Structure 1
């Protein structure tokens, strides 16, 4: 499991650059990100090298921030690699709330960040099926 930082942003010019500047000034490195938006606001989801510090710094700078547990799953970096993992999840009735790609790789595998409905059950089934995922200490160092 890993911590993901979510930042709620008004849908205005410059808000994303402000978040990234605040993190950069604090020495926090963004490893993966995703943005979902509506007409009024957006949700910026981040994997960073120091999530506790990122949370603190963003709060201190007036951002609305939350933390969420996610899984960083290794998938074969080949055609159908993601489909194989997703099919195994489907067979076990594991629901995905959302996912996004990770900037780095681990060995010959690609990395995908998953927010799942039941992280404990998913983690256990991944172990049983041999689906690899990164612990947070390894993930934050990539």
Structure 2
């Protein structure tokens, strides 16, 4: 139930994001979800892509500072309180969320939320026990 996320450290200058997406596009890698957090001098671009191993390799070869991290992708009912229910399950188990971001499937009544948590295996267990649907890496990469 773990999904590989690619994180790229980027200087906060014009054109750096275009360079990353250009390298990915030239190598046939499709972005499924992304998040960017920035400061004055740099940013962290987090990506879910259709081929994380290849993305990691081609970005490294292009000179980017890249890391791979395990995250979880959770299906959340697309209704008021849907996310709150999932978050309450993690809170009851005292699992801290480091960050999250969401993306939408093309035709579904659910949103997908990517979580980075401190206790990944415990979070997977808690979410499964609460009836929350977790997606496998293959399911997410194929969206």
Shift of 1:107: 3.6
CA distance in 2 between counterparts of 1:116 and 1:105 reads 26
- Aligned position for 1:38: 39
CA distance in 2 between counterparts of 1:34 and 1:103 reads 13
Cα distance, 1:103–1:76 mapped onto 2, change above 3 Å: closer
Residues 25-76 of structure 1 deviation map (CA, whole Å, 9 limit, x = unaligned): 1000000000001111000000000000000000000000000000000100
- Aligned position for 1:19: 20
Return 5+ residue gaps in structure 1 as ranges.
none
Return 5+ residue gaps in structure 2 as ranges.
none
Contact 1:5 1:51 in 2 (8 A): yes
* TM-score calculated relative to the size of structure 2: 0.96
Contact 1:72 1:113 in 2 (8 A): yes
Contact 1:31 1:104 in 2 (8 A): no
* TM-score calculated relative to the size of structure 1: 0.96
Cα distance, 1:17–1:136 mapped onto 2, change above 3 Å: same
- Aligned position for 1:116: 117
CA distance in 2 between counterparts of 1:88 and 1:137 reads 25
CA distance in 2 between counterparts of 1:104 and 1:51 reads 19
